[in-house]
Structures are given as C-alpha cells and as structure tokens.
Amino acid sequence: FFLLEGRARVTLVSADGREIAYRDVEPGDIFGELGGIDGIARSASVVALEATRAARLSGTAFRDIVMTHPTFAWMLLEHLSAQLRRMTERVFEYSTLVVRKRLIVELLHRAEKAALVDGEVSISPAPTHSELAATISTHREAVSREMSDLAKRGLIEKRGSRLLLHDVSALRALVDKKE
C-alpha cells in the first residue's frame, strides 16, 4: 500500500488490549511491504489517524516491479533498513532507558519533524498521553506523570492542539544525565 493522503499508525494489540504503536505512516510512505515480499499474512494493523487515501498494489505486481526495476528495489532496501534500524533503537531504548527518558527521546524524535515557532518546537497535533504510552511501551498514567513533571519544570507546555517544547537542549541533557 502507498499512503497518498492523511496519516496512519502501524500497531499491534496485545492479548490484554494494550496497543503498541510501531510507526506513523505519512503521505508517500508505504506499508504492507513485508506481506508483499514474503506472502505471509499481515504482522500488524494500520489505523487511520485522520481521513486517508491509499493505493493498493497486488502482491504479484509488487514482486514484478521489484524484480524489473532495480531503483525501486534499492529504495525498498533502504526503507527496510531504516525500519530495522528504528526497531533496533527502540529495543535498545526499552531495554536501557527508564520511562522518563523513553518519553523524552520520543518527544525529541517528534521534534525533528515539527515546526520551529518563536524559538520553540511546536508539535501539532499534540500526541495524546495514550498515543505516547503506546509508542514507548508503557501505560498512560506513567506518561501523564512524566509530562506533568516536564511541564512543572517549564520544559514543555500544552497549548491548544499543540505541544510546545520550550528547551530542547535541556530535554537532551535529561536523556544524557546519569541516574
């Protein structure tokens, strides 16, 4: 599938109903490529975050394009490499960082794609605490507690539909700080 418009999220839901978010899909991104390669049923679900439009390519057509268009095949390899690197980073983060640091790392990842407004990073729309929890493998209450602490320190602020990061350098320093 090729996402043409809108935003979506790749997720899995555990047996106890907890959602685990793997990645967000933006216009121009692909999903379902693993099934196109190995023919095995989907390994995750893709949930629309807003109105979306996607194009579907059959498995046979996908394999034909990969086999006959080396540039497309190379782009697919680069895409899969990036996904594997991101998953490796996440496993490392889950294994070595406490919830506060995982949350800050996720906010910093989102900041890389966000707008700079008056010297502050503006993440819009602001992610919900549940979305952040699903992304960093924890529960909403832990995210709420940590977000409240970061707000009290003056590092972040929820303003309307935006999340403002007032001091990205200070957030980075918190991740690097030994605990």
Q: Do 99 and 138 meet the contact criterion of CB atoms below 8 Å apart?
A: yes
70-122 pLDDT per residue, tens: 999 999 999 999 999 988 988 888 888 899 999 999 999 999 888 777 778 89
pLDDT(43) > 70: yes
pLDDT at 165: 93
For the segment(s) 98-176, the CATH number from 1.10.645.10, 2.30.30.240, 1.10.10.10, 2.60.120.260 is 1.10.10.10
Distance between CA atoms of residues 135 and 90, nearest Å: 9
CA gap 57, 116 in Å, rounded: 37
CA 127 centroid distance within chain: 11
Q: What is the CATH number of domain 2-95?
A: 2.60.120.10
pLDDT average, residue stretch 31-57:
90
pTM above 0.75?
no
Per-residue pLDDT tens over the stretch 115-169: 777 778 899 889 999 999 988 989 999 999 999 999 999 999 999 999 999 989 8
Where exactly are the structural domains of the chain?
A: 2-95, 98-176
Give the residue carrying structure tokens 């990073």: 121
pLDDT at position 133 is 92
CA distances from 150 to 47, 137, 168 (A): 29, 19, 12
